[in-house]
Each structure stands twice: as structure tokens, then as C-alpha cells.
Amino acid sequence: MTQKSETSNPLLLEFEVPDFLSETKCIVIFDRDDTLIKDIPALARPEEIFWLPGVKESLYLLNQNQVTCWVASNQRAVSKKAITLEDLQKVTTEMYKISLDFGGKLGIFAYCIHAVSFEDHGVVYICKCRKPQPGLINFLMENYQVPDIPIYFVGDKDSDRQAASSANRDITFIPSHFLQDPLKLLDSLLSGKVKESDL
């Protein structure tokens, strides 16, 4: 695993360098908490990772069909000192290892670990990467020079939808409940057809 971070940039945990010369059909970027795993505040212990229904089966199917899977998640618990960077790295490494065990592959994790303040006139960010801002997605697109292939973002919150809609690339948002039906998710991605009634 390599780790890259600058003060105002996302924390990037890279387990595999993407190879877009292969038969990559599309990229799916997942939110983490309450999308892939149960949202446990200040998750610091790898043994407390609980994968949500359908996630393992979905990641397996996507990996088998040349779909690249990444993660982009707000993790403000680091700036609040509720968890350490080492805690976050341990949990992330365990997620990567487990994803390999069940035949999926989560090779890249991008985290916003920055503080945010809530004031009378609204939210004040010190970064551009905390969702609903699109910085996490834009960072991944630019850092890896992602070619002109379909990009999807799967998440459970409106902030995920907003981040996808305001990104520099054309990103299709898919609600996380699609993960409960792996075959439907795969068909939606490969066909490029996501029904508005499902969103």
C-alpha cells in the first residue's frame, strides 16, 4: 500500500495501480459507510467491519466483468481525533484484503479527513474534497488520468448524489440499495441504463 496526502488534498491509500490498458469497462466509485459497510462512528477496529447485504456478491460480479472499483469517503473522525490515521489505514487494509478473499477488488481508497465547521451562514470547509463537494471524485479522475469510459458513483446520501452531479466528469449516481441486487447492479452498469424510477 502506498499513501499520498497533502494538507488540503484527500488521503489516498493505493493498493493497486490502475491499468487502463486492460479491458476496463467502467469505474464504480463507492461511498464507504452505510454503502459498503455498516456505519460505525469512529470505526477503528478491523474486526468491527460489517459488510452490508449484497456487497460481497456485487463486488465479485463487478470484478469478474472488468469493472474497476474504488472508494471515496468522508472520514472527518481523523480531524476530530476520534480515530488516528493508523486506525483508518488498518481498517482500510482489512477491507482491501477481505475484498480479495471474496473475489472482489477495492484497490483505491480516497478519504477526506479534513475538519468542517457549522456556522450561522452555513457549512465552512477548509478543503474541496468533503462531499457534497466533488473534490474526491475530481482528485481520482485527475490523479489517475482516467480515460473516456463510463464512471458511476454509488452512495446512500444526498451529499453523494451532489458530489457526483457537480464533478468535472459525467458521473452517473446510483443509490446504494442497488447493491442488494447484484445482478441488477451489474446489468445497469454494463447496459448504461439506470431507470429514473429506481433512483
The confidence score (pLDDT) of residue 155 equals 97
Total number of domains constituting the chain: 1
Q: What is the tens place of the pLDDT at every residue in 63-114?
A: 999 999 999 999 999 998 999 999 999 999 999 999 999 999 999 999 999 9
Contact between 167 and 43 (Cβ < 8 Å):
no
Residue, of 119 and 45, whose pLDDT is higher: 45
Give the global pTM. 0.92
Side chain identity at residue 89, one-letter code? Q
Whether residue 118 is predicted with pLDDT greater than 90 in this model: the reply is no
In-domain check, residue 156 = yes
Identify whether 56 is part of a domain.
yes
Examine residue 81 and state whether it is found in any structural domain, yes or no: yes
Average pLDDT rounded to a whole number, residues 49-60: 97
Is 197's pLDDT higher than 80? no
Any domain includes 196: no
CATH classification at residue 151: 3.40.50.1000
Cell of 121: 451562514
For residue 115, the enclosing domain spans 2-184
Average pLDDT over residues 1-14: 76
